[in-house]
Amino acid sequence: MSTVADHQSIAESLPTGQVAAALVDLEAIRSNTATVRRRAGDAELIAVVKADGYGHGALPAARAALAGGAGRLGVAFLAEALALRAAGVEAPVMAWITVPGDAFVEAVGADVEIALGSPWALDAVEAAARELGRPAQIHLEVDTGLGRGGATAADWPDLLRRVAPLVAEGAVQLVGTMSHLACSDVPDHPSIAAQVEAYRDALAQLERVGLRPGLRHLGNSGAALAVPQARFDAVRPGVALYGVSPSDDVPPGHWGLRPAMTLLARLAHVKHVEAGQGVSYGLTHHTTAPGWLALVPLGYGDGIPRHASDLGPVLLGGRRQRIAGRVCMDQVVLDLGETPARPGDVAVLFGAGDLGEPTVQEWARVAGTIGYEIVTRIGARVPRLYRGLT
């Protein structure tokens, strides 16, 4: 159990009058990036800042990652890449999910690198390049076993035949060749060796048609940290940069990572009730003795998992508490028993854990999910307050 003094040091981070906030430690992101880069050896680091920087803020996270040694950035969608460009980010940015009718012309014009694994996407990129009179920068994506994006082994040769003349002509520039691992969070999983072999075969086919693969990248956070054979020329870490472990069984501190987000809220209401008082929808919780109930103004509308009903851990006044009853859209309730509290007191839902507060990994465990989801789902109603780098 943390001391009240420890809790106070966290609570004071929430400005007076602020209902709730996600504190984001940009120095932690910078440091985590440097740590992952060291572990990845000679591989270049493509810092993944998709989904608004895993909920931490894409632009601040991108700047912190670049300060930590990332050479490039990665996002899922063209709109995310274009937003970074509009904000003044000049580092190479790649995006790997596109749909017909997407902003290909704008992306090519902004020097966004576009990953593709299908003929229709290649046609769209070529058309954008010809309309602008400038080459498009592309990454070819091959499906080595994940069964998600990328060309299958059967479709890969035809895609290469289509790409080769466009590269020779200068209509497109092949910046990189990519795939994605299915089980990098389990370093000894047999699928890793199979995917590495399939990826090497795809690279060999590419070279046989006279293409150079450019930057070869297959590994994500798990591979960057613990799968050397999957690192190649570059790695694409995402969640590790934010101090969340890619493995459910390994804490982030094992890798020297520090969680970057702390979620706080002020109590909105406190009241004394009698034994047997039902709490929240469905009355799944009842008080066992006279005591205090406290209302925390965060709910599933803010990203608190409803699956954490009756389970979610919270630090209040230096003591661990647990959500009582169901998570509501805008609030949760704590059954404090005989421990008093006051409106305005600060509850800590999760943080780095070194002062006794719950961690993202704990929340993921009780909610039956992964740490990625816990931080990424924190909604726009919760302001991000940044500290560390400027």
Please enumerate in sequence order all residues whose Cβ is within 8 A of that of 360, keeping only pairs 6 or more positions apart, or say none. Answer: 244, 259, 261, 350, 371, 374, 375
Q: CA-CA distance, 349 to 32, in Å (whole number)? A: 22
Catalytic residue from among 54, 199, 242, 281:
281
Q: How far is CA 233 from the centre of its chain?
A: 22
Residue type, position 294, single letter:
A
Please enumerate in sequence order all residues whose Cβ is within 8 A of that of 39, keeping only pairs 6 or more positions apart, or say none. Answer: 224, 225, 255
Q: Is 386 a catalytic residue?
A: no
Q: Is 50 a catalytic residue?
A: yes
Q: CA-CA distance, 278 to 288, in Å (whole number)? A: 10
**Residue with token string 């690198």:** 113
Q: CA-CA distance, 49 to 75, in Å (whole number)? A: 6
Written as six digits, the tokens of 235 are: 């790695």
Maximum C-alpha span of the chain: 80
Catalytic residue from among 50, 54, 199, 372:
50
DSSP characters over 16-67: TT--EEEEEEHHHHHHHHHHHHHHTTT-EEEEE-HHHHHTT-HHHHHHHHHH
Q: Which residues are catalytic?
A: 50, 281
